[in-house]
Structure 1
Amino acid sequence: MYIYDKYDRLLIQERIFQYIDQYKRYKEKEIDKNIFRSIRLKNGIYKQKNLYMIRIAIPYGLLSSKQIKILYKISKKYDKGYGHFTTRQNIQFNWIKLNKTIKILKYLSSCNMHCIQTSGNCIRNITSDEYSGIRKNEIVDCRIFAEIIRQWSTFHPEFSNLPRKFKIAISNNKNDKAVILIHDIGLKIIKKNSKLGFRIFVGGGLGRIPILAKLICNFLPYKYILSYLDIILRIYNNYSIRNNIYKSRIKILVKNIGIKKFSNLIKKEWKKNINKKLIIINKEYKKIFKYFNKKTKINIKINNIIHKNKKNNLFNLWINKNVIYKHKNKNYCIVNLPLKSYNLPTGNITSKQLFLLYILSKKYNKSEIRVTHEQNLLFTYVKIKNLYNIWKKINIFKLFSLNNNLLTDNICCPGDNFCSLANTSSIFLNRLIYKNFNNNIVQNKINKIKINISGCINSCAHHHIANIGILGLKKKNKEFYQISLGGNYGTFTKFGNILGPSFSKKNIILVINKILQLFLKKKKKYNYFKKYINSININYIKKNIY
């Protein structure tokens, strides 16, 4: 993984010194609380319903063992023994006291971590496909360009006060795990005539006006990517509305003026004002490439390990559900570590589990771990002979699950248990689904399905693109849930259709069950819920629900 150089470390230290001085002046009432609000948000510190939340950047979802150990210490010492992994490959701690934030930032800096640009109207954490660097037949590792873009965008003087937050995602595979079409800019790595480059999409986003990003450039040689991003952001900065937060995202600008006019603005700017200083030279590309190029030696066949443990049924079930052998290096396999258990909300992890991951990743996974967009974790360099030892440990610490891609493997935001913006408790519904459907026979019968639960219209759980998307609403101070059906992400990203009027907190689980029962009646024909819901007329569901 990328190792911070002296410039990276200097940037982090300078930001901490600034914050220490600003916090001191705030406590001495030299800084107004509204001004300090802006300051703390720039350091990833949010005021929530209970205490403060601190959001820590995990660039392209990659953590080292040392960083995991620091996260363990923060969760144990400054939180209530928990952390929460998000859909944007970050981690949040939800029970933080403001007077402890300086110590936390210092802790983070000791292992090359920070909260810079995890909030505010700036370029946020660059996300990428969590399988980058380990997929068979991938063009190139996404993380190389994610790191180059991270370095360019951090504290960018022109783009630190954009009209609204700005999100960039990179994918290198047709099975688009990074979901690039729901981002402000989506980058797909491709090759054309043996030349490496990008297909570029712009103007995507969720929220109250969900829009899929539009194609703006069919092929751009990779060395020009920073120059092209620079132009897009300058046009957005100059032309976008600033006096209405609901109309300030780039998706609204592209929608209002049209993709053709937006494209012409870029072409015009490109011809007269390309920034040659931003061209990626081969030397720089190779330098970053080396950080992500792992060498391996050993070779053990999977049949041996299965044979040795053929009497252990539970282990073999775990192998089938959570171990992937399609690794670009045949000496290794990938282990999925779901954060979707009966005892914790989606994405949550305990301090004990974090410490276990520190030990296991150091011993069995080349001292790293990855965060997925679906709020799970991955070990990506596991020797097959070590699978049984890993399974035994995670089983003891309740990181064992057989629900990968099933009903209880749902995505969920913290909701109004923590977030001051939320209308409903996403965690309540997440736990209710687990309670009612935590049966392997039932879940396997339903088979693969994606359920995403957002507590408000900000759509942090990406409910628009789920097979069953659930949005929390407030009506006369009571909780309701709106259902959308038929969303999809990956190869063919699409938004679901709203079923109809929302359902009360009391009835929502009955409605979900009824929708699933309707599917099971026709499962032989369609096999997967995704295929079923996109093949039938939604009025058929409505007639049986309302």
Structure 2
Amino acid sequence: MVAYNKGLSVKSLEQSYLNLKDNVDKYLAGNIGATDLKKVCSPLGIYQQRNGLFMLRIRITGGHISVSKLQKVADIMDEYNVGFAHITSRQTLQLQDVAPADIDPILKKLAANSMPFRGGGSNTYRNILASSDSAIAVDETFDVLPYAQTLNDFLFTYDKAIELPRKLKFGFSSGADDSIKAIVQDLGFIAKQQNGKKGFIVYAGGGMGKESILGVKVFDFLPENQFIKCAKAVTDLLYDHGDRTNRSQARLRFVHKRLGKDKFIELFQEYFKNSTADVKVTDNQNIEGEAKSLQQFKFNIPDHKHYRQWAEYAVVNTKFGDDIISLRLFVPYGNLRADHIRKIAGLAKRCSLSFVRLTQSMDILFPIIHKSALPVIFESFNHELKDLDLSLHSFKGHLTSCIGPKVCMVGIADAPALSDMMAATLDKYFTEYPDKKPNEIHSILQEFKISGCPNACSGHIVSKIGLQGMKKRVNEVLTEGAFLYTGGKAVQNDACLANSDKEFLPIDQIAQVVKLGENSRV
């Protein structure tokens, strides 16, 4: 039985799962090919990998997932021998290396544990972003996660959001720093207070990929009770005006480009005027109460340099006082085995934490822990989790990159390998200058983004230093390398796309990119 309906007919949702199973069975019997199967499975967020196995994308709004669900994911991965889980730049989990015969039972078990499959791939709305420190940050405007979750509940039951000309991406930022880069979402909301009332600055029509474009501001202040009306208007607009004859030109940003800024805003306002949606936002998460009951520890503080540096760059203060902190777990390549997930969930539970957040940087955030837990967590990193560099001892695997062509069917260049080359140069530099590392880490992780193709999954289009992987014939030899992009930023009132001269940069010149980053910070 599907455990998530929110107004959608359980029968219709189960029917889509039965249809998937029927087509998987036909595929296994050799009666249909991968192309026909994709038509059925991709709208559910299920794709075939390059190795012939499959990826299942779990919808996790804002990256917010309970520890109990995380443990359930690990159990299911073990039961069906799933290769690994990948944290995506849209704050969700993808189960990788799934055998086709296991798609149906895995899907049903996840759905039965309130992790349903509808949308998330193909021409549907994608996982909704929210600031990973929402409800926690010292300087946030207000908590936006309940709004993201409410929007997901609405779109999950709205058929047009599943039958679009092309994908549609939403995001919510809880503060003026705009952590989700609203200006390059199809529809981006930035929390704002005006005259004591909650609302949003709203951008529409942005997007990254081929022919990237910055969105336009459609509201300087949208009252909070109209955000669903706004999202429905954009969904309807794309449904009606997206180019269904040319998939490569079907995204909302191409409607924006085709019409121009003024006409696009005019069309949006027309749809907004005619849009109706009556949805109440509810917040079932008592984070403040949980912050008061976190486990405290008596544990000797390790007396060595890496611990002291880690406790500086991995920790962020929260609005719950000096003793309650957030901790970032740096996940190499965003990849975790089932045993890793189970141990991380167990560690969170040991700290009395009921939930974690998956971040756009493909890491995990322990949003609230008592600072006395730091030595305990560090000890765990060095023992039961020692095969994962969760404390960023090295930059290897920690520069944001897409999953790469060894897995992804549309990937061109091996983005993780390009990332590793840059990481090796950074590691060498900080071996010589170790005291600089704590102050440089965050800017480096924000600056460098590596994508394996023009789809820009890493966000290189709005990064300070970005690589777009490609292959080119050099002296009659097909050579892997990248285009260099520089100067991008997605900041309110000062946003710009990164520039590239499209000069091919072979692999052996990748180290120059790191030196460029060093010079930019001088």
SS in 1 for 2:222: strand
Distance in 2, matches of 1:379 and 1:490, equals 26
Find the counterpart in structure 2 of residue 289 from structure 1: 283
Superposed displacement of residue 182, structure 1:
1.3
Task: For 2:397 and 2:105, locate their aligned partners in 1 and report how far apart those are by CA, in whole Å.
Answer: 37
Question: Is the partner of 1:317 in helix, strand or coil?
Answer: helix
**Could you tell me which amino acid in structure 1 is paired with residue 359 of structure 2?**
T
Matched, 1:350 2:337: yes
Determine which of 408, 411, 416 is the counterpart of 1:419: 408
Label 1:333 to 1:21 Cα distance change in 2 as closer, same or farther (>3 A): same
Does the 8 Å contact 2:486/2:500 carry over to 1?
yes
Give the TM-score taking structure 2 as reference length: 0.88
Name 2:44's counterpart in structure 1. 43
**Aligned ranges for residues 317-396 of structure 1 at < 5 Å?**
317-340=309-332, 346-396=333-383
The 3-state SS of whatever aligns with 1:173 is coil
CA distance in structure 2 between the partners assigned to 1:223 and 1:435 by the alignment: 49
Deviation at 1:158, TM superposition (A): 2.2
Q: Which residue of 2 aligns with 1:523?
A: none
Match of 1:542 in 2: none
Query: Cα distance, 1:257 vs. partner?
Result: 0.9
Q: How far apart, in 2, do the equivalents of 1:489 and 1:365 lie?
A: 36
Of stretches 243-252 and 443-452 in structure 1, the one that deviates more from structure 2 is 443-452
Q: Which moved more, 1:443-452 or 1:392-401?
A: 443-452
Write the deviation string for residues 165-212 of structure 1: whole angstroms up to 9, x where unpaired.
000001121122111111111111212211211211111111111111
Match of residue 205, structure 2, among 203, 206, 228: 203
**Gap change, CA 1:235 and 1:298, over 3 Å in 2:** closer
Closer, same or farther in 2 for the Cα pair 1:499/1:270, shift >3 Å? closer
Choose 241-250 or 78-87, whichever is displaced more.
78-87
- 1:309 aligned residue (281, 301, 305): 301
Q: Deviations over 1:302-356 (max 9, x none)?
A: 9x989x527344322221121112334555210110013xxxxx21123222111
Residue 57 of structure 1: aligned partner = 59
User: Structure 1 residues 404, 360: closer, same or farther in 2, change over 3 A?
Assistant: same
Q: 1:140 to 1:298 in 2, by over 3 A?
A: closer
Conserved 8 A contact 2:293-2:352: no
Q: Which stretch shifts more, 7-16 or 34-43?
A: 7-16
Displacement of 1:400 after TM fit? 4.6
Q: How does 1:8-407 map to 2 (within 5 A)?
A: 10=10, 13=14, 15-24=16-25, 27=28, 34-50=35-51, 51-79=53-81, 81-271=83-273, 273-275=274-276, 278-280=277-279, 284-285=280-281, 288-291=282-285, 293-296=287-290, 298=292, 308-309=300-301, 311-340=303-332, 346-396=333-383, 397-398=385-386, 399-403=388-392
User: Residues of 2 paired with 1:409 and 1:227: CA distance?
Assistant: 39
Picking from 435, 458, 469, the partner of 1:472 is 469
- Partners of 1:242 and 1:475 lie apart in 2 by 32
In the alignment of these two chains, the number of paired residues is 503
Q: CA 1:350–1:28 in 2, change beyond 3 Å: closer, same or farther? A: closer
Change (3 A) 1:410 1:434: same
Distance 2:393 2:186 in 1: 29
Taking a change above 3 Å as real, the CA distance of residues 79 and 443 of structure 1, as seen in their structure-2 partners, is farther
Native 8 Å contact 2:234 2:271 kept in 1: no
With structure 1 as the length reference, what TM-score do the two structures score? 0.84
Does the CA contact (< 8 Å) of 1:12 and 1:109 recur in 2? no
Which deviates more from structure 2 when the two are superposed, residues 421-430 or residues 321-330?
321-330
- For the Cα contact (< 8 Å) 2:44–2:120, is it kept in 1? yes
Structure 1 residues 156, 291: CA separation in 2 closer, same or farther (over 3 Å shift)? Answer: same
C-alpha contact 1:78 1:95 (8 A) present in aligned 2: no
Is 1:483 aligned to residue 475 of structure 2?
no
- CA offsets, 1:195-234, max 9 Å, x none? 2112111111111111111101112211122122222222
Q: 3-state SS of the aligned residue for 1:289?
A: coil
* Structure 2 CA distance for aligned equivalents of residues 299 and 58 of structure 1: 25
Name the amino acid aligned to 1:474: K
Shift of 1:438: 2.1
Given that 2:298 and 2:372 are in contact with CA atoms closer than 8 Å, whether structure 1 keeps it comes out as yes
Deviation at 1:120, TM superposition (A): 1.3
Match of residue 424 from structure 2 = 435
Counterpart of 2:309 in 1: which secondary structure? helix
Equivalent position SS for 1:497: coil
Q: CA deviation at 1:12?
A: 5.8
* Cα distance in 2 between the residues matched to 1:378 and 1:269: 38
Distance change >3 Å, CA 29–CA 292, structure 1 → 2: farther
Distance 1:12 1:389, change over 3 A: farther
Secondary structure of 1:381's counterpart equals strand
Name the CA shift for 1:196/1:244 in 2 (closer, same or farther; >3 Å).
same
Percent of residue pairs identical = 22
Please give the per-residue CA displacement for 1:46-73, whole angstroms capped at 9, x wherever unaligned: 1221022222221110111122123223
How many Å apart are 1:42 and its aligned residue?
A: 1.8
Match of 1:544 in 2: none
For 1:364, the aligned partner's letter is C
Q: Give the RMSD, CA atoms, in angstroms.
A: 3.0
- Counterpart of 1:389 in structure 2: which amino acid? V
Specify whether residues 181 and 316 from structure 1 end up closer, same or farther in structure 2 by C-alpha distance, changes over 3 A only.
same
- SS in structure 2 of the partner of residue 199 of structure 1: strand
- What is the rounded CA distance, in whole Å, between the counterparts of 1:400 and 1:29 in structure 2? 42
Distance 1:335 1:234 in 2: 40
- Which letter maps to 1:45? I
* Conserved 8 A contact 1:369-1:379: yes
Give 1:462's aligned amino acid: G
Indicate how the Cα distance of structure 1 residues 506 and 259 shifts in structure 2: closer, same or farther if over 3 A, else same: same
Give me the whole-angstrom Cα distance separating, in 2, the residues matched to 1:75 and 1:436.
Answer: 35
- CA–CA distance in structure 2, aligned partners of residues 14 and 292 of structure 1: 36
How big is the shift at 1:244? 1.5
Q: Distance in 2 between matches of 1:34 and 1:203?
A: 30
Name the SS of the counterpart of 1:159 in structure 2: helix
Contact residue 139 and residue 172 of structure 1 kept, 8 A: yes
Aligned partners of 1:490, 1:366: CA distance in 2, in Å?
Answer: 32
Any idea what SS the aligned residue of 1:324 has?
strand
Match of 2:318, SS? coil
CA distance in 2, matches of 1:296, 1:367: 8
Structure 1 SS opposite 2:159: coil
